[in-house]
Structure 1
Amino acid sequence: MPSTIRRRTLLAATPALLMPPLAHSQASWPSKPIRFVVPFAPGGSSEIVARATAAELTKSLGQSVFVDNKPGGSGNIAMSEVARADDQHTLILGHIGTLAVNPYIYEKLPYDPNKDFKPISLLAKVPSLYVVHPDVAAKNLKEFVALAKAKPGRLNYGSAGNGSAGHLAFEYLKMATNTFVVHVPYRGTGPQLTDLLAGRLDAASVGAPAILQFIKAGKLRCIATGTRERIAQLPDVPTVAEQGYPDFEMTQWYGLLAPASLAQPAAEKLAAAAQRAMKEKEALDRLANDAAIPVGGTPRDFAAFIAQEQQRWKAVIARAKIKPE
Structure 2
Amino acid sequence: MFTRSRLLRAMALAALATAAPLAAIAQAFPAKPIKLIIAFPAGGPTDITMRQLAENASKILGQPVIIDNKPGAGGTLPAQALQTTAPDGYTIAQIPLGVFRLGYTTKINWDPIKDISYVINVTGYAFGIVVPTDSPFKTWADFVAYAKANPGKLTYGSTGTLTSPHLTTEIIAQKAGIELQHVPYKGSADLSLAVLSGQLMAAADSTGFAPQVEAGKLRVLNTWGEKRLAKFPDAPTLKELGYDVVQNSPFGIGAPKGTSPEVVKKLHDAFKQAMEEPSYLAALGRYDMLPDYKSSAQYTQFAKDTVAREKVIIEKLGLAKPVN
TM range (shorter): 0.7 to 0.9
In structure 2, the partner of 1:37 is 37
Instruction: State yes or no: 1:270 paired with 2:271.
Output: no
- Give the alignment of 1:227-266 within 5 angstroms: 227-245=225-243, 247-266=244-263
Deviation at 1:261, TM superposition (A): 2.6
From 264, 287, 290, the equivalent of 2:287 is 290
From 296, 300, 303, the equivalent of 1:303 is 300
In structure 2, the partner of 1:72 is 72
Q: What's the CA shift string for 1:65-116, capped at 9, x where partnerless?
A: 0100112333444322222211620000000112x2222211x125321121
TM-score (norm 1): 0.87
Q: What's the CA shift string for 1:142-161, capped at 9, x where partnerless?
A: 22111211211111111122
- In the superposition, relative to structure 1, how do residues 323 and 132 fare at CA in structure 2: closer, same or farther (>3 Å)? farther
TM-score (norm 2): 0.88
Residues in 1 aligned to 2:169 and 2:276: alpha-carbon distance in whole angstroms: 31
- In the superposition, relative to structure 1, how do residues 273 and 147 fare at CA in structure 2: closer, same or farther (>3 Å)? same
> What letter matches 1:37 in structure 2?
I
Deviation at 1:37, TM superposition (A): 0.5
- In the superposition, relative to structure 1, how do residues 261 and 233 fare at CA in structure 2: closer, same or farther (>3 Å)? same
Over the matched positions of the two proteins, sequence identity in percent amounts to 31
* Greater Cα shift, 303-312 or 151-160: 303-312
Residues in 2 aligned to 1:110 and 1:194: alpha-carbon distance in whole angstroms: 36
In structure 1, the partner of 2:81 is 81
Q: Secondary structure at the match of 1:251?
A: coil
- In the superposition, relative to structure 1, how do residues 17 and 175 fare at CA in structure 2: closer, same or farther (>3 Å)? closer
Q: Contact 1:38–1:47 (CA<8 Å) still a contact in 2?
A: yes
In structure 2, the partner of 1:49 is 49
Alignment coverage as a number of residue pairs:
309
* Greater Cα shift, 235-244 or 115-124: 235-244
> What letter matches 1:269 in structure 2?
K
Q: Contact 2:72–2:160 (CA<8 Å) still a contact in 1?
A: no
Residues in 2 aligned to 1:139 and 1:14: alpha-carbon distance in whole angstroms: 72
Q: Contact 2:123–2:250 (CA<8 Å) still a contact in 1?
A: yes
Instruction: State yes or no: 1:146 paired with 2:152.
Output: no
> What letter matches 1:159 in structure 2?
S
Q: What's the CA shift string for 1:123-156, capped at 9, x where partnerless?
A: 1011111111223311221221112112111111
In structure 1, the partner of 2:216 is 218
Residues in 2 aligned to 1:121 and 1:22: alpha-carbon distance in whole angstroms: 21
> What letter matches 1:133 in structure 2?
P
Q: Secondary structure at the match of 1:84?
A: coil
* Greater Cα shift, 113-122 or 128-137: 128-137
Q: Over the residues paired in the alignment, what is the CA RMSD in angstroms?
A: 2.4
In structure 2, the partner of 1:176 is 175
* Greater Cα shift, 310-319 or 72-81: 72-81
In structure 2, the partner of 1:90 is 91
In structure 2, the partner of 1:317 is 314
- Give the alignment of 1:62-141 within 5 angstroms: 62-86=62-86, 88=88, 89-98=90-99, 100-106=100-106, 108-141=107-140
* Greater Cα shift, 127-136 or 71-80: 71-80
Residues in 2 aligned to 1:253 and 1:308: alpha-carbon distance in whole angstroms: 13
Q: Contact 2:123–2:293 (CA<8 Å) still a contact in 1?
A: yes
In structure 2, the partner of 1:206 is 205
Q: Contact 1:49–1:124 (CA<8 Å) still a contact in 2?
A: no
* Greater Cα shift, 162-171 or 28-37: 162-171
- In the superposition, relative to structure 1, how do residues 17 and 115 fare at CA in structure 2: closer, same or farther (>3 Å)? closer
Residues in 2 aligned to 1:300 and 1:196: alpha-carbon distance in whole angstroms: 40
> What letter matches 1:96 in structure 2?
L
Deviation at 1:233, TM superposition (A): 1.2
> What letter matches 2:228 in structure 1?
R
User: Mind listing any 5+ residue stretches in structure 1 that lack a counterpart?
Assistant: 1-11
> What letter matches 2:314 in structure 1?
I
* Greater Cα shift, 110-119 or 40-49: 40-49
